[in-house]
Amino acid sequence: MILTSMWSVVTKIIDISVLWYLVYQLIKNIKNNVKMILIFKGVLIIGIIKVISSLLNLYTIGLLLEYVIMWGPLALIIIFQPEIRTVLEQIGRSQLLGRHKTLTVDEREHLVDEIMLSIDYFKKKKFGALIAIERDVSLQEYITPATKIYADVSAEILESIFYKNSALHDGGVIIQGTKVTCAGCVFRTSLVNKLSKSLGTRHRAALGLSEESDAIVLVVSEETGRISIAINGTMNYNLSTDEFRKLLIKELRPKKELFYAADDEGGDL
C-alpha cells in the first residue's frame, strides 16, 4: 500500500515536471518568434471576444466564433506550418542539461583574443564576416551541409575563410567550444520587418539564427566595416571594439559565473 502511494506520488511529480518543461520550452521559443507571438495574440483576442459575446448574449458573433474555434486550429496548422515546425525543431534540438562545452577561463581568454584579432582585421579591411558560436541549442542542421573545418580557433583560420577571394567567404562559420567546426554555412534570414533596410543579408542571417537558437552571432559589414552581435533575436548594431569585446565575454560566461559576477562590467574573463 505504501509503495503504491509512493509510486503514485512519483508519477505525478514526473507528469508535472514533463508538462512544466514542455510549457517552458514552448514559451521560450514563442517569445523569440515574431509570427508565433502574433498567433498567440490572435488566439488570446478571439478568446476574450468569445467570453464577452457570451456575457452579453451576442448570438451572431458567438456563433461565428464557435466556427472559428472549431476550424481555427486546423487553419493555423496549415497556414503557419513552417513556424510551428521551427518551434518543434528547436524543442527537439534543445537539451535539458545543455550540450556545449563549458570553457575554462584560459580557453575563453584565448577564444576571445583570437576572435577579436580577426574582428579588428575585418573591420579595418572591410571584409564581411558571419561567425556563430554555438551554445545550448544545437546547430547541427547547418553544420551537416557545410564545409567541415575542425580546426582550433585562430585569427589566421578566420581571416583565411573570410578573405574576399576565398570560396567560403560569403557563408557563415560555426564555432563549437574552441574549434571552428565548419564554414560556408547558409543561415535562414530573419523575417522581422522592423529591421533597417540598410542592413544586408549577413545581418538578416545573423538575426534569423539568433531568433531560432541561443547562438552568439558575430557580424562584420562588408560595406561599412561596422561590427555587431546578434543575441536572442536582438541585433546589437555598430558596436565599438571595446563594447563588442565586453558583450562577447559576458555571453561566453557560464550562467553560474554570471550569477556570481552580476556586478562585473565584463572587463575580466
The CATH number that applies at residue 160 is 3.40.1700.10
On the question of pLDDT at 175 being above 50, the answer is: yes
Give this prediction's pTM.
0.64
* Arithmetic mean of pLDDT, 235-258: 87
Q: Does residue 114 sit within a domain? A: yes
Residue 34 confidence (pLDDT)? 60
Is the domain of 132 the same as that of 255? yes
Is the domain of 87 the same as that of 186? no
Of 70, 93, 116, the one marking the end of a domain is: 93
Is the domain of 167 the same as that of 214? yes
Q: Does residue 134 sit within a domain? A: yes
Residue 102 confidence (pLDDT)? 73
Mean pLDDT of the chain: 82
Which H/E stretch holds residue 236? Answer: strand 234-239
Q: What single-letter amino acid sits at 168?
A: L
| Rounded-to-integer distance, Cα 28 and Cα 30, Å | 6
3-state secondary structure of 249: helix
| Rounded-to-integer distance, Cα 52 and Cα 142, Å | 47
| Tally of domains in the chain | 2
Q: Does residue 183 sit within a domain? A: yes
Q: Judge contact between 184 and 169, C-beta under 8 A.
A: no
Residue 95 confidence (pLDDT)? 45
Is the domain of 82 the same as that of 122? no
Is the domain of 212 the same as that of 234? yes
Is the domain of 25 the same as that of 151? no
Pick the range with the lowest mean pLDDT from 80-84, 186-190, 226-230, 239-243.
Answer: 80-84
* Arithmetic mean of pLDDT, 9-20: 85
* Arithmetic mean of pLDDT, 222-249: 94
Of 93, 115, 146, the one marking the end of a domain is: 93
Number of separate helices (H) and strands (E) present in the chain:
10, 7
Is the domain of 54 the same as that of 78? yes
Rounded to 5 degrees, what are φ and ψ at 54? -70, -40
**Tally of CB atoms within 10 A around 57:** 7
Residue bearing the bigger pLDDT, 146 or 269: 146
Q: Does residue 25 sit within a domain? A: yes
Is the domain of 148 the same as that of 209? yes
The widest CA-to-CA distance across the chain, in whole angstroms, is: 75
Q: Does residue 175 sit within a domain? A: yes
Q: Does residue 248 sit within a domain? A: yes
* Arithmetic mean of pLDDT, 236-246: 95
Is the domain of 82 the same as that of 120? no
Could you give the dihedral angle defined by the CA atoms of residues 258, 249, 268 and 118, in that order, rounded to the nearest 10 degrees? 170
Residue 68 confidence (pLDDT)? 79
Q: How far apart are the first and last CA of the chain?
A: 56
Q: Does residue 66 sit within a domain? A: yes
How many CA atoms within 13 Å lie on the side-chain side of 255?
5
Question: Which cell goes with 31?
Answer: 517569445
Is the domain of 144 the same as that of 42? no
Of 64, 93, 122, the one marking the end of a domain is: 93
Is the domain of 120 the same as that of 86? no
Is the domain of 132 the same as that of 62? no
Q: Does residue 165 sit within a domain? A: yes
Residue 149 belongs to what domain range? 105-260
